[in-house]
A and B are shown apart, each in its own frame.
Chain A
């Protein structure tokens, strides 16, 4: 069982380029999330999806877009990358029940925008 996979593991990108970070889960969780993690700032939510076909904006959505065409996949797209988007990106999933929403994380993508 893989859990959550992310690709690529790391990427160096020129500013202005378009980039899609991939995330796939095999746990059939209903909810999925994209976070960025920067030193001293902790995890910040970019976008989330509570179920296939729906998405929502998190704390820092500007410059990012997502789609949730099916349960397993939740790609994150940077339409035109800027240096401030240099970060470590984590995808997570959870099965949200009445009160419990433990999140499971992928291994992360380290992105550098030059």
Chain B
């Protein structure tokens, strides 16, 4: 079957670094997406990885290992506005996105 696993909740301190892990099993693989979702709002795109390695975009970076079925989202210099849920989604052989349940990130001052 198809499955995405990510932690339910994480807590970090303002100004620190946090890494959110995601493991996936899909029928075929066409890339890994990370989305951010603030409470009461729609998900918004953060990053996309299809090749192994690290993609950096400002304070956010995303890593992919296809052989391990593993990705992580790295958030640096955490700000209070980063408090949100982070959704991991893998694109399968039909280009459908298989979604994880999301990781709620709580930032403390």
Contact = CB atoms under 8 A, between A and B. Distances in A.
Interface of A: 40-45, 48, 58, 90, 96, 99-108
Nearest to A44: B99
A25 to B, nearest CB: 13
B106 interface: no
Contacts of A102: 33, 45, 48
B31 interface: yes
Contacts of B48: 100, 102
Interface string B39-52: 00111110010100
B43 A43 contact: yes
B30 interface: yes
A106 B42 contact: yes
A77 to B, nearest CB: 21
A61 B10 CA distance: 32
Which applies to chain A's interface (DSSP): helix, strand, loop or mixed?
loop
A101 B97 contact: yes
B80 interface: no
Given A90-B42, A103-B45, 20 more contacts: A40-B8, A41-B101, A42-B87, A42-B100, A42-B101, A42-B102, A43-B99, A90-B43, A99-B31, A99-B50, A99-B95, A101-B30, A101-B95, A101-B97, A102-B48, A103-B33, A104-B45, A107-B42, A108-B41, A108-B42
18 contacts: A40-B101, A42-B87, A42-B100, A43-B43, A43-B87, A45-B96, A90-B43, A96-B95, A99-B31, A99-B50, A101-B30, A102-B45, A102-B48, A103-B45, A103-B97, A105-B43, A105-B44, A108-B41
B61 interface: no
B99 A42 contact: yes
Contacts of A96: 95
Contacts of B65: none
Nearest to B45: A102
A105 B100 CA distance: 16
Nearest to B50: A99
A58 B102 CA distance: 19
- Residue of A41, A44, A101, A104 with most partner-chain B CB within 10 A: A101
